[in-house]
Amino acid sequence: KQEVTQIPAALSVPEGENLVLNCSFTDSAIYNLQWFRQDPGKGLTSLLLIQSSQREQTSGRLNASLDKSSGRSTLYIAASQPGDSATYLCAVSYGTSYDKVIFGPGTSLSVIP
């Protein structure tokens, strides 16, 4: 069964701290992996997308890595800010003829000023 898990479920850090969010997936035959951000009462916003052939992607203070063989991805956030407070979701894409996406449960991040 294809499953995606994320740890921790919740995280609270002081402003300015660097942090790492973890995502694990059971089936390594992925097409790509994507990290999303979800603010309360809103939809999801794509942060980074890593193709299966890539090892990492960077955007500003965010860096996502992918290790297909071990079924893991990490999202690194540098110099955290209160505006980073949100739920971060990992989504894995499978399928050949169409995009089958499985989401993890998310990590709720709170950055304390």
Partner 1 sequence: EAGVAQSPRYKIIEKRQSVAFWCNPISGHATLYWYQQILGQGPKLLIQFQNNGVVDDSQLPKDRFSAERLKGVDSTLKIQPAKLEDSAVYLCASSRFRGQGVRETQYFGPGTRLLVL
Residue 64, amino acid: A
Provide the residue count of the chain. Answer: 113
Residue carrying structure tokens 């090892």: 55
Q: Considering the complex, what minimum distance in angstroms separates the CB of residue 16 from partner 1?
A: 28
**Which residue's CB is nearer to partner 1, number 85 or number 93?**
93
**Distance in angstroms (rounded) separating the CA atoms of residues 109 and 99:** 28
Q: Among candidates 37, 7, 23, 15, which has minimal Cα distance to 93?
A: 23
Check binding of 22 to partner 1 (CB under 8 A).
Answer: no
How far apart are CB 15 and partner 1 at their closest, in Å?
Answer: 26
Backbone angles phi, psi at 7, to 5 degrees: -135, 145
54: three-class secondary structure by DSSP:
coil
CA 85, CA 40: separation in Å to the nearest integer? Answer: 10
Task: Single out the residue of 59, 105, 110, 112 in contact with partner 1 (rule: CB under 8 A).
Answer: 105
- Residue 104, interface with partner 1 (CB under 8 A)? yes
Task: Considering only residues 59 through 98, tell me which ones interact with partner 1, judged by CB under 8 A.
Answer: 89, 91, 93, 96-98
Range in contact with partner 1 (rule: CB under 8 A) among 12-20, 32-40, 62-70, 74-82: 32-40
Residues that bind partner 1 (CB under 8 A): 4, 31-32, 34, 36, 41-46, 49, 89, 91, 93, 96-106
